[in-house]
Amino acid sequence: MTAPSGRLEGKVAVVTGAARGTGEATARLFAAEGARVVVADVNDEGGQRVAGDLGDSGLFVHCDVSSSDDWAGLTAATVERFGRLDVLVNNAAVLLLAGIEHTSVADYERVFRVNELGTFLGIQAAIEPMKAAGGGSIVNISSIDAVFVSPGTAAYAAGKFAVRGLTKTAALELGRFGIRVNCVCPNAGNLDMVVESLPPGLDRETVRRSLERVDRALPIGRSGTVDDVAHAALFLASDDSSFFTGADLVPDGGISAGMIVRGGPGT
C-alpha cells in the first residue's frame, strides 16, 4: 500500500461499523490521510478503542444504523465536534448464511434493517450537513454478492443489490447539491464475519480453508483484504473521484471476469 499523502486533509468523515474489520481499516486509513473521523458502531468497547487510537482526530458515537434517532444524534455529534460533515461511509452490515427455506422472516428483516435501511437512513441523515458543507461524498459498501450471488445468501444478497439501486437513485437526486454517491462491491472483507455466520455444526476451520482456496483461484492470485476495501473507499471519498457518482467500484481480484483454471491454456 502507498504511503499516506493527505488525500482527505481537512475533511470530516463518518464511518459506520468501524469497531472492527473493514470499517476499522477504513477509519484508520482515513485518519492517516488527514481526515477527522467519527467511528460509529453498536460495539462500544471496540469503537472507543479505535477512536482512542486516532487521538484528537477521532470520536466514537454509539449508533444503531437502523434507528433514525441514532442517526440524528450521530450527525449532530459530528457537527458539534468537528464543525461539518464531508464524507459518509455506510459500512455497517450483518451477514446471514442460510437457504431460503431455512430463512425466517425475523432473520430476513434483521438483515434488511441493518444493511439496506441503515444505508438509506445514513444517506438521509447526511444530506443537510453535507449541503451545509457545500457538498460531500457518500460511499456505500455493498458486496460482490450484489454483482453475482452464491446459494445461501438470499437475505444478504437482496439487501446488497438494494444498496446498489439506492446508490444510483441517491446519486441522481443529490448531485445538484454537490453530493456524490458511489458504491463499493468487494470480494473481500472480514473473514471472521463469514465464519461467525455459518450454521451450527459446520467445521469453521474447514470452511475458512475452503474459502481461502477459492480466493487463491482469483486471476490476481490472492485473497482480498479489508485494506483493499478501505483504499477503494478512500478513492471514492477523496477529490480524486470528483467525476464519479452513481458508480459501482468492484475490487474483486478479477472474479467477476472469470476464474483461473491452473494448467489450462493461457495460464
Domains assigned to the chain = 12-189+224-247 (3.40.50.720), 192-223 (no CATH)
Please, what's the b/e burial string for 247-260 (b: 16 or more CB within 10 A of its CB; e: otherwise)? Answer: bebbbbbebeeeeb
Grid coordinates 474483486 are at which residue?
Answer: 252
**Annotated catalytic residue within 156, 157, 170, 228:** 156
Residue 158 pLDDT:
96
- Nearest CA among 93, 1, 88, 91 for reference residue 37: 88
Q: Which position has the grid cell 472474479?
A: 255
Q: How far apart are CA 235 and CA 127, in angstroms?
A: 21
Decide if 108 is catalytic: no
Predicted local distance difference test score (pLDDT) of residue 221: 76
Alpha-carbon gap, residue 108 to 110, rounded angstroms: 5
pLDDT at 204: 62
Q: Which three cell numbers stand for residue 57?
A: 482526530
pLDDT in tens, the chain (267 residues): 567 789 999 999 999 999 999 999 999 999 999 999 999 999 999 999 999 999 999 999 999 999 999 999 999 999 999 999 999 999 999 999 889 999 999 999 999 999 999 999 999 999 999 999 999 999 999 999 989 888 889 999 999 999 999 999 999 999 999 999 999 999 876 666 666 666 666 666 766 676 666 666 778 777 788 999 999 999 999 999 999 999 999 998 888 887 777 776 776
Please tell me the predicted confidence (pLDDT) of residue 245. Answer: 98
Whole-number pLDDT of residue 192: 65
What are the residue ranges of helices labelled H in 33-148? Answer: 44-53, 68-82, 105-112, 118-133
| C-alpha pair distances (Å), 39 with each of 52, 54, 63, 94, 210 | 10, 10, 9, 17, 33
